[in-house]
Amino acid sequence: MSAGEADHTTTYTDVCAVERVPQESGVTALVDGTPVAVFRTHDDRWYALGNFDPFSRASVLARGIMGSRGGRDVVASPMHKQHFDLATGECLDDETVRVPTYDVTIDRGRVLVGRGSG
């Protein structure tokens, strides 16, 4: 979910103030005890993925390099450089691998992260 009004059927965790996440950057937050990487694009689109990189087996995706590949917003793992689609969690370098995605919304200047895709 992009920035906008919260879907009131989903429970959201208040992560931080919008200004705490620089554009083209990610931060890590705990959502229901799970490390989640929250990203903000240069044009203020918001995404959240599980922070765990399945290739390096480390919680590092929030520190990855954001960009685009084939018209898709991606983050490259800082460890082995696999690219993950920010909207779907799909690894563009290995279609058998996917990380969970989470709903993100902005409400009154706060970043809220909702339930994950699994």
pTM equals 0.89
20 three-class SS: helix
pLDDT for position 116: 76
Percent over 70 (pLDDT), the chain: 90
Query: Which residues does residue 68 pair with via DSSP β-bridges, in sequence order?
Result: 73
On whether the CB atoms of residues 105 and 1 are closer than 8 A, the answer is yes
Locate the domains of the chain by residue range. 13-116
Report the relative pairing of strands 83-85 and 72-76 from DSSP bridges: antiparallel
Report the distance separating Cα 50 and Cα 104, nearest Å. 13
CATH architecture assigned to 13-116? 3-layer Sandwich (2.102)
**Per-residue pLDDT tens for 2-39?**
444 445 556 899 999 999 999 999 999 999 999 999 99
Report the distance separating Cα 86 and Cα 43, nearest Å. 14
**Per-residue pLDDT tens for 49-58?**
999 999 999 9
Which amino acid appears at position 103 of this protein? D
Span 51-69, average pLDDT: 97
